[in-house]
A = this chain, B = another copy of it.
């Protein structure tokens, strides 16, 4: 499949008429007809219903059209962004992060760095393991995760340890308490994040298991917002890092846990033994302030 097919498909999907579409594309109708068939063959699905009076999109065709528009749009913006960056003298600074650190001060680091006019920021949501590879390949320059991984080419710095909290529906029996894990184990759990494993979800399960507590998983969720919605709907409860409590939501209360030592670290990874670039130095300076604020409890 080539972009040509997508471009043709879009025009045809809008015109619903091969002859007119061909005219719009400055080409004859038969080759267009063939290319569309070719596309359908490659995807292995009918995108159009043919009739003697023009075409109609099948449901699959509708879906494909919607996404194709987005793809073509993204290509255009990508080219434009690349050209802009090539003309400017900016350098790329890539930051990898696991989703759960993005509810805290990371957005502040991003906002500060975007101000600088010698740097183009590139953000990538990556698991801690993926971050190792991305660091080495130069795709990112700094990674934020929650796991310690031994790698000779990467140095890790423990920024701070973050307490875990329980997210409970409003009015829950434990809502005004400081519960123990044993107490929480009595209630069904919303496991989160379900998708890229291993993750916080496994850590959560491990915490219970190591204490010999049996938990029932009521539901899995991939995104924080979904998980919180499920908690608010009283489908279950879930454990989240403290940063998440900044995401307040009607129907949800966060409570600290009674068990000591239930924390999740936030770890910053960098390539080892590399002279810090000017941008890296700026990032480090900002980070230092943010970590200091975090440690002293001063939120901006």
User: What is the interface of chain A, defined by CB distance below 8 A to chain B?
Assistant: 1-4, 14, 43-47, 57-60, 62-68, 70-71, 74-75, 78-79, 81-83, 85-87, 90-92, 94, 107, 111, 120, 122, 124, 137-139, 229, 232-233, 246-251, 299-300
Contacts and interface: CB of A to CB of B under 8 A. Distances in A.
B63 A70 contact: no
Nearest to A250: B246
A107 B63 contact: no
Number of chain copies forming the complex: 2
A139 to B, nearest CB: 7
Main secondary structure of the interface of A (DSSP, over half): helix
A82 B66 contact: no
A3 B21 CA distance: 22
Contacts of A62: 92, 94, 122, 138-139
A34 B46 CA distance: 35
A78 B86 contact: no
B82 A45 contact: yes
13 contacts: A1-B3, A43-B79, A44-B83, A45-B85, A45-B87, A63-B92, A64-B78, A64-B82, A65-B139, A71-B74, A71-B75, A71-B78, A232-B300
A82 to B, nearest CB: 5
A175 to B, nearest CB: 16
Contact of A63 (B71, B85, B249, B250): B85
Nearest to A124: B66
A120 B61 CA distance: 13
A85 B67 contact: no
A276 B120 CA distance: 49
Given A14-B137, A64-B82, A246-B250, A111 B59 contact: no
Nearest to A248: B248
A223 to B, nearest CB: 11
